[in-house]
Amino acid sequence: MDISSAGLRVLRQIAESGSFTAAAAHLGYTQSAVSRQAAALERNANAALFERHADGVRLTPAGLVLLRHARTILDSVADAERELAGAGSRTEVVRLGTFPSAGWAVLPDVLDRLSAHPRITVTTSEGSTPALIRALRAGSTDLALLTSRPPHRPSDGESPRLRLETVEDTELAVAAASDGKFAGRTAVHVDELVDAAWIATPSSSAQPLLGVWPGLPGRARVAHHAADWLTKLRLVARGFGVTTVPSRSSAALPPGVILLRVEGAPPEIRRVLLARLPGRPTPAVEAVTRAVMAASTGG
């Protein structure tokens, strides 16, 4: 079997992105180039590696076997590149993925705690929970902070199951302008939010993101769509709408924004999980895991 490292990178990116189009955009290729690479991989492997579905592309059992070996090969190539460039000052790299709100609520504390480990280099990337799970499966991320809704079933149906540790359970709240309709209050009844203008992140059933209150009765009126958290919260501060945030984010809110507890509906709880592939973690991955757990408890 004659497969290049470039072909293995294409395989890994298709597995991570979930489509040929998204993989091509990430790699800077045309879609036709990625399709040709995928066809060449299948010819060389003498097996079908990809299943095409209406909602994207998934790897076949044979594709998952090749992906498992691709992770090892590509990681070894990356290690060799770092050693050759490092001239003896080798560090262990841990690739940490986070969901968007973790980037400003948890990540700075994690990195501060890891400053005591000069031989560990942490690189980070941000994405939705489904995207981060694909990145873990593809081997382009070592650890990922995910979110889970009740009843907190396993994060995906693939095998082997991811190793999951509960970091914390956090309650959602509504962010509103401190000088607006809800000024001076700490709570709001869910019925008062029915006619509110909402600031929400564009989302889909495959990649749900925060914005509209999950238990809101009726159809929400979304006034503004924004993917960036700073944009959403600045719009809130100026009174252009309200949005849903994790309650633990209170310390990171900009001036002019207050948090409101929602009454009249069951609490909306989100579980934060730290995930990785099964197997014995490296000492660097263990150190990052400890830093994440300590940052969540403030210990």
Residue 157 lies in a domain: yes
Same domain, 133 and 281: yes
CATH code where residue 57 lies: 1.10.10.10
pLDDT digits (tens, 9 = 90+) for 44-55: 888 899 988 887
Tokens describing residue 54:
């209406």
Per-residue pLDDT band at 17 (split at 50, 70, 90): confident
Same domain, 130 and 199: no
- pLDDT at position 87 is 46
Same domain, 177 and 190: yes
pLDDT digits (tens, 9 = 90+) for 102-134: 877 788 889 999 988 888 989 999 888 888 998
- pLDDT at position 260 is 96
DSSP assigned state of 230:
H
pLDDT digits (tens, 9 = 90+) for 256-281: 999 999 999 999 999 999 999 998 99
The answer on pLDDT for 57 being more than 60 is yes
The separation between the first and the last C-alpha atoms of the chain, rounded to the nearest angstrom, is 51
Same domain, 65 and 156: no
pLDDT digits (tens, 9 = 90+) for 145-182: 998 888 877 677 777 788 999 999 989 999 999 999 99
Is residue 86 classed as helix, strand or coil in its secondary structure? helix
Q: How far is CA 243 from CA 196, 210, 239, in A?
A: 10, 8, 11
pLDDT digits (tens, 9 = 90+) for 197-238: 999 987 665 555 678 998 898 889 999 999 888 899 999 999
Tokens describing residue 70:
């691709």
- Average pLDDT estimate for 178-202: 94
Q: Distance between CA atoms of 121 and 109, rounded to whole angstroms?
A: 15
User: Burial of 188 by CB count in 10 Å (0-12 exposed, 13-18 middle, 19+ buried)?
Assistant: buried
DSSP assigned state of 242:
B
Q: Distance between CA atoms of 130 and 207, rounded to whole angstroms?
A: 6
Locus of tokens 């700073």: 230
Lowest mean pLDDT among 29-33, 76-80, 261-265: 76-80
- Average pLDDT estimate for 3-19: 87
Same domain, 97 and 107: yes
Lowest mean pLDDT among 29-43, 82-96, 280-294: 82-96
CATH code where residue 140 lies: 3.40.190.10
User: Burial of 202 by CB count in 10 Å (0-12 exposed, 13-18 middle, 19+ buried)?
Assistant: exposed
Q: Distance between CA atoms of 155 and 278, rounded to whole angstroms?
A: 14
Number of domains in the chain: 3
Tokens describing residue 18:
């979930």
Domain that holds residue 45: 5-70
Same domain, 52 and 194: no
DSSP string, 109-154: HHHHHHTT-TTEEEEEEE--HHHHHHHHHHTS-SEEEEEE-TT---
Q: Can you give the pTM of this predicted structure?
A: 0.77
Is residue 172 classed as helix, strand or coil in its secondary structure? strand
- pLDDT at position 208 is 57
143-148 and 243-246 beta bridge pairing: unpaired
